[in-house]
Amino acid sequence: MGVAGRPLARQHCFRHSVPITIFLLLLLYLSARILGALLGCGSWAQACIPEGPPPFQGMLGRMMRPFRASLNPAGDVELSQYLAGWRELVKLLTPLGSIFTFATSEASTKVTALEARLRGPDAEHYTSLAAMVAWERRAGLLRRPGAVPRDSARPSGSRTLLLLHRALRWSQLCLHRVATGALGGPDAGAQCSDAYRTALAPHHPWLIRHAARLAFLAFPGRGRLLELSCPGTTEAEARTALAQAAGTLEDVYNRTQGMLAELGLLQLA
C-alpha cells in the first residue's frame, strides 16, 4: 500500500508544483527587471529637455508629435501616426521600471502586427480606425454575439488595437499621477497600482494581477520616476513635461474610446 501510494503522491505534488514554479519564475523575472531599472538608465538622459514651449525635443517630443497627428480633423484616428506614437511611448516607458515593461511587453508585437496590415495587400483599408473597422466588419473578421470570426486563428486589427488602447489608458493614468501627485499624498507606486486595477487588471488572469501587485511594492518613488523620465530638469519642469505628455495621451485615448464605443467594439477582447 505504501509503495503503491508513492507515485500518486508524486503526481499530486507535481500538479501543484507546476503553477507555483511558473509563478515564482515570473516574480523572479519581474524582480530582476526592477533591480535593473533602479541601477540606472543613463542612456535616456535626453528624454525631456525643453526647447521652450512644448513640443519638447527628445523622446517626449517624438512621442507627442505622432500621437497628436493621429487625431485628424474629421474626428478619426490615423493608424500610421497612432502606431508611430506607440513606438516612441514604449521607448519612453521601458527604462522607468519593470512594471512599465510588464504593461507594454506585448505592445511592440501588437504594433508590428498592425503595421504589417498597413503594408499588406489590404493596406487601403487600414488608413484609419473607422476605415479598418468598416472593412473588417464587411470581411467578417469581427466577432458578433453568438458568431465566430471567419478567420478565428488570426486576430482582427480592431481587436489588436483595442488591446493597445487599454494599455494606453494605463500608461496615461500613471504618467499623469506621477506628474500631478501632491507631496504627502499617496506615493507613485500606489497611484500607478490603482491605475492598473482600473485599466488593465479586469482583463488579466489572477496570476498576472498578483504578480503585478507584488511588483508595485518595489516601484520607484515619484522623485526617482521624474528623474528617470526627464533627466537634467528641475522637478517642476519634469512634472510639467509629463503632465503635457499625459494630456496628449488622454486626448488620443478619449477619441479612440468614443469611436470604439460608438462602433460597439469595447468588448471585442
Kindly list the structural domains of the chain, giving each domain's residue range(s) and its CATH number in brackets, ordered by start: 2-38+54-262 (1.10.3520.10)
The per-residue pLDDT for 154 is 64
This model's pTM is above 0.85: no
The per-residue pLDDT for 203 is 82
Give the torsion sign (CA, 160, 165, 168, 169): negative
The per-residue pLDDT for 211 is 78
Q: Is 236 left (phi over 0), alpha (psi -120 to 50) or beta?
A: alpha
The per-residue pLDDT for 76 is 97
Encode the chain (269 residues) as per-residue pLDDT tens digits: 444 444 444 444 434 444 433 333 344 344 334 323 322 333 333 445 444 434 344 678 889 999 999 999 999 999 999 999 999 998 888 777 666 666 667 788 899 999 999 999 999 999 999 999 999 999 998 865 444 445 444 679 999 999 999 999 988 998 898 888 876 667 877 888 888 888 877 887 888 888 777 777 777 788 888 887 787 888 889 899 999 999 999 999 999 999 999 999 998 87
The per-residue pLDDT for 29 is 42
Residues 118/80, Cβ–Cβ less than 8 Å = yes
The per-residue pLDDT for 200 is 78
Q: Is 166 left (phi over 0), alpha (psi -120 to 50) or beta?
A: alpha
The per-residue pLDDT for 97 is 67
Instruction: Compute the distance between CA of residue 266 and CA of residue 257 in angstroms, rounded to an integer.
Output: 8
The per-residue pLDDT for 188 is 79
The per-residue pLDDT for 49 is 41
- Dihedrals φ, ψ of 210, to 5°? -70, -40
Respond yes or no on whether the N-terminal peptide bond of residue 95 is cis (omega within 30° of 0).
no
- CB neighbours of 221 closer than 8 A, spacing ≥ 6? 187, 188, 189
Helices (H) then strands (E): counts for the chain: 11, 0
The per-residue pLDDT for 138 is 93
The per-residue pLDDT for 103 is 64
